[in-house]
Structure 1
Amino acid sequence: MPDRFRTAARGAGATTSDTDLDAAANYLLGRWAEPQRHYHDVTHLAAVLDVVDRFEHLAPNPDRVRLAAWLHDAVYDPRALGDANERDSAEFAEGLLLSLGAPDEVAAEVARLVGLTAGHATEDDDPDGELLCDADLSILAADTERYEQYTSAIRREYAHVPDDAFRAGRTRVLTELLKLPSIYRHSEIRAEWEERAQANLTAELAELA
């Protein structure tokens, strides 16, 4: 995994030493392995990176998208309110990348991309942001067994929330996703995953009800 971070950082213009890049990668992996994470963990990180690699041809700046994938849940506290995790992750991302010698523009853009994962809504003509959001939501198009593992892991992350409150909150999240014009932005990804994701979300909503 550190080699994937190093390659992306170099591709995005980071000028620090390989030793520093590897240290940053290992520090991030430590964050992704924190005990409160049951879904938002290293497995999720690797899955998002795999999607970005597969569909990198859809993004003008795939290395920036890869860095945003590494950093989009760098701060993750299930007890945080609103989009605090995404805001804090974006701020952390910009600071870290600047410390690694990334150009100001790159650090700011990666932070912007990280912020998009709060609501997974992008503006028109934002293929980098669209790829990150599509990759982050790729789990929604998983097969039935994997999707059930995902929902179970999410529930464990929110074990501190009573059942009624969790059902209400989860229902709001799924409903907002289903209100989007489509869950996936890129047409190539949408053609492959949209139908399955819609079915998974609809089935989960029925169970929550």
Structure 2
Amino acid sequence: MGAQAPQWLLDSFVESLQQIGATAPTVELHQEARDLADHWCTPDRHLHTIRHLIDMLTRIDEIADTAHDPDILRISAWYHGAFLNKSLEVKFKNPSNWQSTRCIDHAHNRLTTLGVDSDIVARIDELIAFLTRHRAPRSDSDAQVVVDADLAVLASSPQDYKKFREKLRLELDDLDELTYLTGRRALVKTLLSYDPLYQSPLGDTWEAPARANLEVELTKIDEKLCDLDPACLATDEGDGVNEADTSAESGDEMTTTGTLIIKKRSLKKASSAPVDDAPVTCSIPVLQPVEDQNSGDEDEAENTSSLESAIESIDLPSTRE
């Protein structure tokens, strides 16, 4: 079934694998591309198809200017949909369990076999987990890009968004209507609770149309639930932001001494760095406001400190994790 994927798509996957350091022979990389494309082409897929993958990769390219390792993001996109999740409990309530674990295990094993460095494999594992939760840490700009690229479908035209909802329903056709609508409602409300919904700097153009589509969908769901079981709308228990989402989003670290740790990810794809090139972490003190005791303009400028000015004056180094 890999033949359903265009050759240029398979070639681009191989190129990205080589860019992130895969050492396996090219023929094996092409076989991996075909095998992975087969996963995206199974007959039970209506929404998460090769077309969906191509659209996601295109969106990554659109907003990749703010990413440090676009090829790692592309490979993450390929593997995050290796297995179709049809379990409602996982799909709508806790997506980080079944689908994430299975896709992560598959990506981890295959990429390790293909000779990708263990640090990069671990990074891709992490990105797949963020994709299944639809949320990235505030301090992780690359994760924000790949998650926003996945959620960009929510900003489709109203006509295309209707088709999106229809295809999603077909993929979950084993669920009865009440179960599906209840679960989908919880997810839509969670997405609407994110402020902003899109976290990457270049993803904010999708914010308004996505929210409009989600609001319309929520209204339609509520109308259907009123007909099926009005009691479902009596309580919003379980709706809102998942604790796992909020913990993942809080990516900045604070030490016990009140120091804010701001990290910039940049993974090495080649072993060209010196052996003694140790990881560096930049610690920026959280400064307390200084009371102004001078009336002169120059004295005021000298005696006023802020976290903003401290950040602007420091050239943050890259860290390797």
Distance in 2 separating the partners of 1:185 and 1:160? 33
2:132 maps to 118
Point out where structure 2 has 5 or more consecutive residues left out of the alignment. Answer: 1-8, 223-321
Conserved 8 A contact 1:171-1:208 = yes
- Select 2:22's aligned residue among 1, 8, 14: 14
- Select 1:169's aligned residue among 176, 183, 208: 183
RMSD: 1.1
Does the alignment pair 1:44 with 2:57? no
| Residue 195 (structure 1) shift | 0.2
Equivalent pairs, count: 208
Conserved 8 A contact 1:36-1:77 = no
Q: What SS class does the counterpart of residue 139 from structure 2 fall into?
A: coil
From the CA coordinates, give the structure whose radius of gyration is larger. Answer: 2
Does the alignment pair 1:155 with 2:169? yes
Distance 1:125 1:142, change over 3 A: same
- Select 2:208's aligned residue among 189, 195, 208: 195
| Residue 53 (structure 1) shift | 1.5
Does the alignment pair 1:99 with 2:113? yes
Distance in 1 separating the partners of 2:138 and 2:61? 22
Distance in 1 separating the partners of 2:107 and 2:53? 15
Distance in 1 separating the partners of 2:116 and 2:52? 25
1:138 maps to 152
Distance in 1 separating the partners of 2:48 and 2:196? 23
| Residue 140 (structure 1) shift | 0.1
Distance in 2 separating the partners of 1:95 and 1:53? 26
Question: How far does the alpha carbon of each residue in 1:103-127 deviate from its partner, in whole angstroms, 9 at most, with x for none?
Answer: 0011111111011112112212111
Question: How far does the alpha carbon of each residue in 1:182-207 deviate from its partner, in whole angstroms, 9 at most, with x for none?
Answer: 111112211x1100000000000001
Question: How far does the alpha carbon of each residue in 1:167-196 deviate from its partner, in whole angstroms, 9 at most, with x for none?
Answer: 101000100001112111112211x11000
Which runs of 4 or more aligned residues in structure 1 lie more than 4 Å from their structure 2 counterparts after TM superposition? Answer: none
For 1:70-109, what aligned pairs fall within 5 Å after superposition? 70-79=78-87, 81-82=89-90, 83=95, 84-109=98-123
The normalised TM-score by structure 1 is 0.96
Higher relative contact order (CA 8 A, sep 6+): 1
Conserved 8 A contact 1:141-1:194 = yes
- Select 2:217's aligned residue among 201, 204, 207: 204
